[in-house]
Copies of this chain bind each other. A is one copy, B any other.
Amino acid sequence: MMYKETNTRSIAKGFSWRFFATSVTVIIVYLFFGRLDLAIAAGVIETISKVLLYYAHERIWQRILWGKKKIEPFNLWFTGLPLSGKSTIADLVFEKLKKYHIPIERIDSKDIRDLIPDIGYSRDDRNRHMHRIGHLIKTLQNNSISTVASFVSPYRESRKAIRKMVKNNVVVYVKANIETCKARDYKGVYAKALRGELQNFSGVNDVYEEPIRAEITIDTDTMETEEAAELIVRYLKKNYIKI
């Protein structure tokens, strides 16, 4: 497990338990005997003897694995045209998920190169690259780590390959008008592609195959980033994040 319980936590649990348990004892003794002095005496004796016992009991259970369940990881897979807003929404979702304290890793096309080198932009190269990323996600999932991944991933076949490799795959299609993306072109990549300086650029000189069965579709023409992120988090809470 990713976290272990500290001694301090076990002690704190002992005291918090004792507070509630002794209150119940005091109430019961008072109800039965109608005597406050007896009730308080019972409370004092119980407190002293049980705090230590509770602590020992906690530490013993720390060593027992039975009844612990591996957390089920999910993979949130953002796909869409370059500059459609995938990374921005994915970053916000990742931020919002922090408060649930689930083990989770952010994987973005621009960061992944340190780990898995880009090998090219032909269909075959892209599919091979996707396959490697699927492998990474699988390795993380083996260890209960969920993932928030954002990749253009323009081909149906490679998204399908990812879906087959990982579990609890949630495809988020970030749908944006190609004209909107071009207008947003702060990196100048669309301009380059349109001038023919970038080959195999999805949406310009290579195809982007729209997902047919995305779990979630975000239409960026009608939905703000904040609203989209909230919608995705709600979907995850409903289906995968169980506390």
* A residues adjacent to B (C-beta < 8 A): 1-6, 8-10, 12-13, 16-17, 20-21, 24-25, 28, 45-46, 49-50, 53-54, 57, 61-63, 65-71, 101, 103, 105, 114-117, 119, 131-132, 135-136, 139-140, 142-145, 243
Q: A49-B24, A67-B12 are in contact. Are A54 and B2 (CB under 8 A)?
A: no
Selected from B1, B28, B57, B63, the residue in CB contact (under 8 A) with A71 is B1
Selected from B4, B103, B135, the residue in CB contact (under 8 A) with A115 is B135
By a CB distance below 8 angstroms, the chain B residues around A131 are 114
9 more A-B contacts (CB under 8 A) besides A1-B2, A2-B70, A136-B136?
A1-B1, A6-B68, A8-B67, A16-B61, A20-B57, A21-B54, A114-B132, A115-B116, A116-B117
Is the Cβ of B243 less than 8 Å from the Cβ of A2?
Answer: no
By a CB distance below 8 angstroms, the chain B residues around A4 are 68-69, 71, 243
Task: Name the residue of chain B whose CB is nearest to the CB of A57.
Answer: B17
Q: A1-B2, A132-B117 are in contact. Are A21 and B143 (CB under 8 A)?
A: no
By a CB distance below 8 angstroms, the chain B residues around A114 are 131-132, 135
Report the separation of the CA atoms of residues A50 and B53 in the bound assembly, to the nearest whole angstrom: 15
Q: A17-B57, A117-B132, A143-B145 are in contact. Are A68 and B9 (CB under 8 A)?
A: yes
Selected from B17, B46, B142, the residue in CB contact (under 8 A) with A105 is B142
By a CB distance below 8 angstroms, the chain B residues around A12 are 66-67
Q: What are the nearest 4 A-B pairs in CB distance?
A: A9-B67, A3-B68, A2-B144, A1-B3
Is the Cβ of B8 less than 8 Å from the Cβ of A65?
Answer: no
By a CB distance below 8 angstroms, the chain B residues around A243 are 4, 62-63
Q: A50-B21, A54-B17, A139-B105 are in contact. Are A67 and B6 (CB under 8 A)?
A: yes
